[in-house]
Amino acid sequence: MNVLLVTVDSLRADRVNSEVMPETRSFADESVEFTDCVANGPSTPASFPTIHASRYFASIEGLGIPEPGTDDGIQTLAETLREAGYATAGYTDNHFASGSYHYDRGFDTMYDASGTAEAGKLKQFVQSNLDKSGALFKTIERVYNHADALFASATGNDSEYERASSLNRRAFEWIDEQEEGADGEDSEGDSEWFTWLHYMDAHHPYEAPEEFQRQFLDEPLDLARCRGLSRKGTHHPEEMTDEEWDLIRKLYDAECAYVDDQFGKVLNALENRDLLDETIVLFTADHGELVGEHQHAGHPPEFWEGVLRVPFVVHHPEREAAVVDGQTRLIDLPPTITDALELEAFDGWEGESAWELADGEVDSREYGFADVGRQVDYARCCARRSDGWKLMRHADDGEFCFDYRANPDEKPEDDRADDDIPEYRELSQALDDHQERMKQMREGSSHGIDEDDEMVEDHLKDLGYLE
């Protein structure tokens, strides 16, 4: 049985609907859909240790995961599958989910577009040398947006990141090689493979191709306008008008529609190659996105439902379609895949197989924890309970406690953090215990990438996590 893992950066769970993402919605209806999956962090650096190594971000000192051979307590999904005889390949254009942070562990082939894109290099330079909160940047921001767009057009890069269509092409060239064999002869039966695709298209700036913008806008916006809106919503949300928030939402939906189109092409390519019936396909996201909620765009280091809830859908050729409502977490992804393949999960993985929920062995995972790392001294964290209660700690911004099922908009008037209720006390104790355990694990583990703070901040700014 082959495995295809598709992760989409910044994709909210609620966008997998028949209006915005009909291909993905149809795929979910015909697969096993876990409707209440939570990300274990609000950013790529916080989420990908869970996706690839079933480890909480806060349990590892440094960014990413340790290099191979330095920590016996960490093993990636790719390493596990390669040990089982799988050929492995990954395709990404996110610096925080690349070999730079050891996410190439276990992959025979790793394509990382983030280290080569000229537009990305320009953005890195500009964001590293201009203070977005300063008067100078605000003065030249409009000029920069147009210059950025002109540079993109001149270099043929109509997107901040390599498009999903390009990653798909690269991946299927590799898949075809595995299926045909290196010598061109059919090697069916000996060609089991694991392929990981990470799409960046739904990540801001939202600049979908015109045909997808036209699904939501009367007239498509040019590149400079798209990038300018995204940067304003991310870095200057207090200056946004209602009309601009509406445009942001429509541009985001257009990107989601583009992702849907490309994921549909992946499914068609598998079916045309007679591979869909022998491939487990898992579709998810590293975190969600805010498009105006709580006066934010993007995915700040906070834990609102729009950021935490992600799609988690598994096509298993030997399982019938089902809807599973119990809470599961991204950290459950690696053991879910090994369980589907009837392989042993690595002992050091923190997650548990989601198939236990699908098979009724458990009702849900009681707690979903989420963290943000050392840049905020781990003071931003969250505990989400399966009964609908959630406690968020947003450092200097304070604590928030909601019953998100009763109050899905998480409005200030629904906050119960200042009330002496048992739900708050239980969540607070659970989160304290989790944070203490994470601290002990950090102190006993090897380091990930221990870059200096200036370099880390440059990388975080590059993806819009810091101003």
For residue range 403-416, list pLDDT tens digits in order: 999 999 999 999 99
| Degrees, nearest 5: CA angle 161-162-163 | 105
Among 142-156, 278-292, 294-308, where is mean pLDDT lowest? 142-156
Q: Looking at residue 127, what is its pLDDT?
A: 43
Residue 183: is its pLDDT beyond 60? no
pTM above 0.85, yes or no: yes
Q: Looking at residue 462, what is its pLDDT?
A: 54
For residue range 193-232, list pLDDT tens digits in order: 999 999 999 999 999 999 999 999 999 999 999 999 999 9
Q: Which residues pair with 371 in a beta bridge?
A: 381
Domains of the chain: 2-117+155-365 (3.40.720.10)
Q: Looking at residue 215, what is its pLDDT?
A: 98
